Amino acid sequence: MLYFDNSATSPIDEEVLDAMLPYLKEEFGNPSSKYYCKAVNAKNAVEDAREKVAALLGAKPEEIVFTAGATESSNFIIKGYMDYRRYYGDGKNHIITSVVEHKATLNTCKYLNGELYSNNDPTISLLGNKQQVDRGYEASFIEVTSCGEVEKKLVENAFRANTGMVSIIYVNNEVGTINDIGAIAKLCHKRDIAFHSDLTQAVGKLEIDVKKLGIDYASCSAHKIYGPKGIGAAYLKSDDYGIIPITSFTHGGEQEFGFRAGTLAVHNIVGFGKAAEIAHRDYEVTEKKIKQLDSYAIERLLEIEGIKLTNPSETRLPGLLSVIVDLPDFHNERFIRKVSGDLAISTGSACSAGEPSYVIKAMGISDKVSKVLRITLNKYTTKEDVDSLVSIIRENI
């Protein structure tokens, strides 16, 4: 099968797998235990991985908290920071985000804004209907350009006296748009507003330095950089006194500096560390290959009648191609179902499976929602793979 759904997940690197296996077999110790070798070895492995992830992000090791993935990281950071600032800080309870964020950010902000409910929410049972619930927070959702870009002037226009945080994705997971988060972070800091970014689609593909970009909080996952699923990281900025206070995500033991209680998944953490090390080590080689393949893929895909890019601008991450198949009888869901035995491809985010793309709608092309395909490359993709992809598309549309 041809695999072109790498923004959903990437294949695990053999070096990563080799690094993980000992911690699933002989080195099975709990890093929170003491003194004996298996516990010490596990703890050392965790701290080594923390250093490697920190190096990839331009952070300090003590600013990295391991989580179950970017979704958990974003929930932890947004809810934790807003909770702490509202109750123990200056009372600021307003957050700004965009309408094209990953659902981990978008739905967290909707929840704080009183718009998102679960079927067993006791508050809703008492109300008897899904009207807005006052949870004590406010959220603003700003629009984007036709290329899916978040403009800093619109962020600035949304600032209020009670704004405590802004959360803007670095690279959009559906169309690959790269946002100028450095400029947005600078605007935030002038007003004592914290800045969070979901870096998941950017890590390992763009050079990232959280300090230079001015990021206060960040989220990422291992499985988008050829690492294992079920492990991610939250970057929490520190000052001279340590990590700036934020409410813990889970309470219990003192794992992860007291922010996330629970026994650590050492094998996954080791895998994340190795994936980060490889991404850092091979960045230039991988970047060059993906850029070349991206150009070749665009050239070949545009040979097919009716195909065009959803984001034809320069603000797009190489290797993440979102295309419109603008033919009368084409329907993306029918197409991917038809070719599923030969080709792994998607219509958009894996977190929005079965739903029309809210990102495409926000870009002003809602009439093309059913005609969009997302094609994403990885470091193992070849020109021959691209040629085969083009042949399958041409023969089946």
Catalytic residue positions, numbered: 351
> What is d(CA 220, CA 54) in angstroms, rounded to the nearest whole number?
12
> What is d(CA 143, CA 154) in angstroms, rounded to the nearest whole number?
8
78 Cβ contact partners less than 8 Å away, ≥ 6 residues apart: 95, 105, 108, 109, 112, 165, 167, 196
Question: Is residue 4 classed as helix, strand or coil in its secondary structure?
Answer: coil
Write down the number of H helices and E strands in the chain.
Answer: 13, 14
Looking up tokens 């059913």 gives 370
397 Cβ contact partners less than 8 Å away, ≥ 6 residues apart: 304, 306, 325, 327, 330, 335
Q: Which strand ranges, in their side-by-side order, compose the sheet holding 232-236? A: 64-67, 232-236, 217-221, 194-198, 163-167, 94-98, 138-142
**C-beta neighbour count of 388 within 10 angstroms:** 15
Residue 203 phi/psi, 5-degree rounding, is -60, 130
380 Cβ contact partners less than 8 Å away, ≥ 6 residues apart: 11
Question: What spatial distance separates the first Cα and last Cα of the chain, rounded to whole Å?
Answer: 19
What residue type is 45 in one-letter code? A
